[in-house]
């Protein structure tokens, strides 16, 4: 499997931010869980680590991950690959 580039992962992370922004309950839960504020998200909207955390949050919730993957026409391995690229982790699909 090819590694996802940071640029491609950041695009998917930006999609994650938009996806959550359209789901008030989910973005509210993300903010409550992380202690972040809306202004933190606005200020960090292009920061790889923030985008990676958004993807990690989505990936950890099965129904949310499925909806995000469907809305972006991607598979779960691409979601995991983007998260790994942004957070500097390796993923292994065996």
| pLDDT tens digit sequence for 14-65 | 999 999 999 999 999 999 999 999 999 889 888 999 999 999 999 999 999 9
Higher pLDDT, 86 or 45: 86
- Total-model pTM: 0.88
Q: How far apart are CA 4 and CA 23, in angstroms?
A: 26
* For residue 74, pLDDT beyond 80: yes
pLDDT of residue 17: 95
Nearest-CA neighbor of 58 among 93, 15, 89? 15
User: What are the start-end ranges of the H helices in 1-94?
Assistant: 6-21, 24-34, 38-43, 48-59, 62-72, 76-87
Tokens matching residue 32: 């409550």
Is 3 in contact with 85 (CB distance < 8 Å)? yes
């Amino acid at each position: 499997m090819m590694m996802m580039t940071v640029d491609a992962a950041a695009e998917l992370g930006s999609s994650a931010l938009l996806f959550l922004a359209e789901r008030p309950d989910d973005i509210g839960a993300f903010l409550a869980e992380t202690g972040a504020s809306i202004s933190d998200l606005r200020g960090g909207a292009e920061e790889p680590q923030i985008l990676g955390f958004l993807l990690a949050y989505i990936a950890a919730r099965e129904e949310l991950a499925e909806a995000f993957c469907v809305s972006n026409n991607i598979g779960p391995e691409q979601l995991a690959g983007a998260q790994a690229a942004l957070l500097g982790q390796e993923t292994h699909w065996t």
